[in-house]
Amino acid sequence: MFADPQTVTVNSVAKTLPAISRGENQSIYRASDEAWTLRISKNIANQRERLLVEVVQLKDAVTAQALGLAQQDITSKVQLIIDHPRSNVGFSDTELKNQVQALCDWLSASSYAATLKVLGQET
């Protein structure tokens, strides 16, 4: 289990996220202003293991009201999902870590050029 609290850094500003829920298959950490949430979970089914790390940003009520939306309607989520055979047939933790690193490196290379292209809806 991860330590409590967790910290995520957004635009050079550290956000402290205390645990609000911790269970066998999921932990949720949330900032006191509820603007940032970190969820870490696992699901094992059909001989596969699915691991999820998710960061959610919630816009404040004032912004939501100005846009005429319910507050929950203006969230953004960024997720990393690692899906692999449960028995790790052919995939060691090191190989999976290398795959995660390759994706993160690709997304962050050249000042996040690939991320900006994805956000610009390039495929």
pLDDT at position 88 is: 59
What pTM did the predictor assign?
0.88
Distance of alpha carbon 32 from alpha carbon 53, whole angstroms: 20
Rounded to whole angstroms, how far apart are CA atoms 30 and 21? 9
Bridge partners of 52? 41, 81
Average of pLDDT values for 72-93? 86
CA distance 95 to 86: 14
- Could you tell me the domains of the chain? 6-89 (2.40.160.220), 92-123 (no CATH)
Across 45-49, 67-71, 108-112, the highest mean pLDDT is recorded for 108-112
